[in-house]
Amino acid sequence: MDTIYTMKKHNYSAGPSILPQEVFEKSAQAILDFNNSGLSILEISHRSKDFVAVMDEARALAIELLGLEGKGYQALFLGGGASLEFLMVPYNLMKENGKAAYLDSGTWATAAIKEAKFFGETVIVGSSKEDNYTYVPKGYEIPSDADYFHCTSNNTIFGTQMKEFPATNVPVVCDMSSDIFSRVLDFSKFDIIYAGAQKNMGPAGTTLVVIKEEILGKNGRAIPSMLDYAKHIKAESMYNTPPVFPVYAALLTLKWIKEKGGVAAVEKLNNAKAALLYGEIDRNPLFKGAAVVEDRSNMNVTFLLNNAEHTETFDKMWKEAGISGLPGHRSVGGYRASIYNAMPIESVQVLVDVMQALEKSVQ
Amino acid sequence: MDTIYTMKKHNYSAGPSILPQEVFEKSAQAILDFNNSGLSILEISHRSKDFVAVMDEARALAIELLGLEGKGYQALFLGGGASLEFLMVPYNLMKENGKAAYLDSGTWATAAIKEAKFFGETVIVGSSKEDNYTYVPKGYEIPSDADYFHCTSNNTIFGTQMKEFPATNVPVVCDMSSDIFSRVLDFSKFDIIYAGAQKNMGPAGTTLVVIKEEILGKNGRAIPSMLDYAKHIKAESMYNTPPVFPVYAALLTLKWIKEKGGVAAVEKLNNAKAALLYGEIDRNPLFKGAAVVEDRSNMNVTFLLNNAEHTETFDKMWKEAGISGLPGHRSVGGYRASIYNAMPIESVQVLVDVMQALEKSVQ
């Protein structure tokens, strides 16, 4: 345990968040000299052969890792953040006087709903707001005449995660910002998947959007160029100058996932990390989980002390252990351990050790 | 000359483009360890004290360098690129059934006009399109009932630059993407200034928007959150996760400008570099400038060989001299030397030396 206690910090930040160490090293090197070109990745033209290759590889690798090759999907790396997708989705999919179905499972779902209202009717098919989003709504019905259904696969703030997705005849749009590339799903059931890079995929500054091309161009709206998915696809994700460095760092992260054995191999590690930490939360009489057991997120583990008197001691202990980013979001309180792909199980063990040490210290 | 010929590349790329060497070194270091925190700048929360300080300092320094302190302006560092501002400007300023005046001085002005048309009437007050934008239109009148007037201070592709700005009673919006922080202007005459970072201000991935706050909230439109300048100002440029690394690198670049003595000192160096290169273009019988003399840009120097037969020899020579990024844009042809703030005069001398060596070789 001593060696782990003295290693680099254990970064539990919810996002921007921990990335593989080799992504830090390789991206820092590319800033000093990119591909032995004598130029920095920060000063090369986005139209240069070397960067076009980066963009092409990142787009292809995203599709490959999701198992969507040859299925009519296109991947884009856009600027602006996932929050921009909250309005691009209805702009591209909602008809004039149309309507869209939304699942209200947390803060970001609520933010997406707010933007959709600028474009038409939003039907909230299910909501767990009254229980402060401690669970994912289930058993809802999606109107068959909705232009699309929108959901959030993982709720970063509340620590819940959708384990199943509804069967529906309408296009399915999913904000996967905080669990993309963390588990295997049948991604071909989704028509648009989007994700801000800054959890499992790279630094802040770019957003992955994966689109089933055939669903575009059907809502009859005139769309400003920068908000038009079809224009970005036609320009091969270079409609305007892309966020060059964030895209490069995202490519390094996607390559790391592939080298690890792909999403299935990473999922196995994620399951082991989550089992280790939730196991301790359930075993240790000082702690309790914040979310209902069946909807617990394997990415963001939210938990609380049963007795607030231990807060000061616990906070001192985990800080001394080199842990950072553990405090929970103000709307939940307590703690949130974000254990994204790049978090080593050794770091999770450090947190578990601290929780056990706290238990001993109060006996 | 030998030492210069063997130094790091002379990067004449039009953008993304050369940045100060210390920006490369300090930003690479921050990726390995930011502020001795034991964490990478790529993995820290944007809400962390250290990054909030970065954002605050970058915003304040942008205002300071433009001489706009205490004049009612706010600076934002947004994601999405200057192309997103093409639609945010009319969304925030154009009234329903209103109109806006645009100066058509080049490709990017044309792109801005295209997006404004989604929101209302656009009056093109002047255009040099028929002469392939070799000059900046002058002597135009701006309708006094326009919601705003939009211009492009420097035309990256054509190598022209506005030397004077019109007096008008309507709000003035200026795309300064390719000459921001390169020369002193009375910036208080502008109501919105925006600039993609990737020329004089940092790597690609963030856009500076400087706004006179009092002009907002007057057009009566309901604006989606991510497109609403007022919301970004209220959130102190953190409405959503900002592009953390690009903003940090922009701060390093702004600090470098300040250390150089501010915009006035940098302008002096820019004038010397431009005089050196234009002087050679005018003196050397093998070359001619592409833009009219009075509108020549001090940032993007466009020029042509009088005799295309020398192309192969010249291209070989400048490549051997370690120069990169010199070919002109396809819509102008010839060459374009982008000599942004960070380009040393020694590198400009290398290009001049090559031009003179070509002259000698053909005699």
Residue B281 has pLDDT above 50, yes or no: yes
Q: Touching check for A344 and chain B: CB below 8 Å?
A: no
CB contact under 8 A, B226 and A44: no
pLDDT tens-digit map of B330-362? 999 999 999 999 999 999 999 999 999 999 999
Q: Which member of A108, A147, A212, A228 is catalytic?
A: A108
- Return the pLDDT at B5: 39
Q: Which of A29, A42, A46 to mutate to test the interface with B (most CBs of B within 10 A)?
A: A42
Asked if A24-260 and A263-361 have one fold, the answer is: no
Count chain A–chain B contacts defined by CB atoms under 8 A. Answer: 203
- Return the pLDDT at B7: 52
Q: Touching check for B40 and chain A: CB below 8 Å?
A: yes
pLDDT band (50, 70, 90) for residue B8:
confident
311-340 of A, contacting B, C-beta below 8 A: 322, 324-325
Q: Which residues pair with B126 in a beta bridge?
A: B103
Q: Touching check for B287 and chain A: CB below 8 Å?
A: no
Q: Which residues of B touch A79 (CB under 8 A)?
A: 79-81, 84, 205, 243
Reply yes or no on domain A263-361 having CATH 3.90.1150.10.
Answer: yes
DSSP letter assigned to residue A327: B
241-280 of B, contacting A, C-beta below 8 A: 241-246, 249
Q: Which residues pair with A172 in a beta bridge?
A: A149
What is the secondary structure of B285-325 as a DSSP string? Answer: TTEEESS-GGGB-SSEEEEEESSGGGHHHHHHHHHHTTEES
Q: Touching check for B158 and chain A: CB below 8 Å?
A: no
Provide mean pLDDT across the span B205-212.
Answer: 98
Which regions in chain A score pLDDT beneath 50? Answer: 1-6
CB contact under 8 A, A32 and B28: yes
Q: Which member of A104, A147, A175, A179 is catalytic?
A: A175
C-alpha–C-alpha distance, residues A328 and A334, integer Å: 5
C-alpha–C-alpha distance, residues A36 and A55, integer Å: 18
**Residue A256 among the catalytic residues:** no
- The reply, when asked if residue B253 is annotated as ligand binding, is no
- Return the pLDDT at B128: 98
A291 and A160 Cβ atoms separated by less than 8 Å? yes
C-alpha–C-alpha distance, residues B343 and B339, integer Å: 5
Look up residue B2 and give its two tokens: 């030998």
**Residue B199 among the catalytic residues:** yes
Domain B262-361, CATH: 3.90.1150.10
- The reply, when asked if residue A160 is annotated as ligand binding, is no
A158 and A290 Cβ atoms separated by less than 8 Å? yes
Helix (H) or strand (E) holding A319: helix A311-320
Alpha helices (H) along chain B? 2-6, 21-32, 49-65, 82-93, 107-116, 229-234, 244-260, 262-283, 311-320, 345-361
**Residue B318 among the catalytic residues:** no
101-120 of B, contacting A, C-beta below 8 A: 111, 114-115, 118
- Return the pLDDT at A22: 96
| Residue B226, CA atoms < 13 Å, CB-side half-sphere | 24
Q: Which residues pair with B124 in a beta bridge?
A: B102
| Ranges of each domain in chain B | 24-260, 262-361
C-alpha–C-alpha distance, residues B185 and B178, integer Å: 15
CB contact under 8 A, B203 and A11: no
CB contact under 8 A, B243 and A205: yes
- Return the pLDDT at B299: 98
- Return the pLDDT at B27: 98
- Return the pLDDT at B363: 81
Nearest Cα residue to A42 out of B269, B159, B177, B27: B27
- The reply, when asked if residue A198 is annotated as ligand binding, is yes
- Return the pLDDT at A5: 39
Helix (H) or strand (E) holding A282: helix A262-283
Of A31, A46, A227, the CB nearest to B16: A46
Q: Touching check for A98 and chain B: CB below 8 Å?
A: no
pLDDT tens-digit map of B147-204? 999 999 999 999 999 999 999 999 999 999 999 999 999 999 999 999 999 999 999 9
Q: How far is CA B186 from the centre of its chain?
A: 17
Q: Touching check for A240 and chain B: CB below 8 Å?
A: yes
Instruction: Output the average pLDDT for chain B.
Output: 96
- The reply, when asked if residue B47 is annotated as ligand binding, is yes
User: CA-based angle B198:B200:B203, to the nearest 5?
Assistant: 30
Q: Which member of A147, A179, A191, A199 is catalytic?
A: A199
Handedness of CA B80, A192, A82, A57 (dihedral sign): negative
Q: How far is CA B288 from the centre of its chain?
A: 24
Cβ neighbours of residue B184 under 8 Å, at least 6 residues apart? B67, B263, B264, B267
CATH class name, domain B24-260: alpha beta
Q: Which residues of B touch A245 (CB under 8 A)?
A: 203-205, 245-246, 249
Of B8, B27, B86, the CB nearest to A31: B27
CA distance B338 to chain A (A): 12
Residue pointed to by tokens 């102008």? B332
pLDDT band (50, 70, 90) for residue B4:
very low
C-alpha–C-alpha distance, residues A202 and A243, integer Å: 12
CB contact under 8 A, B24 and A14: no
CA distance B276 to chain A (A): 23
Q: Which of A7, A51, A226, A338 to mutate to test the interface with B (most CBs of B within 10 A)?
A: A226
pLDDT tens-digit map of B119-142? 999 999 999 999 999 999 999 999
